[in-house]
Amino acid sequence: MYVKTVAVDSGRMLKRLRPAPQGRGYRVRKRSNHVTIVLDKISNRAPKKSKAAAAETTK
pLDDT by residue for the chain (59 residues), tens only, comes to 899 999 999 999 999 999 999 999 999 999 999 999 999 998 876 666 666 666 666 65
Instruction: Fill in the amino acid letter for 16.
Output: R
pLDDT recorded at residue 42: 86
Domain ranges (residues) in the chain = 2-43
Burial of 1 (0-12, 13-18, 19+ CB in 10 A): exposed
Q: Which residues of 18-28 are buried (b: 16+ CB within 10 A; e: fewer)?
A: eeeeeeeeeee
pLDDT recorded at residue 36: 96
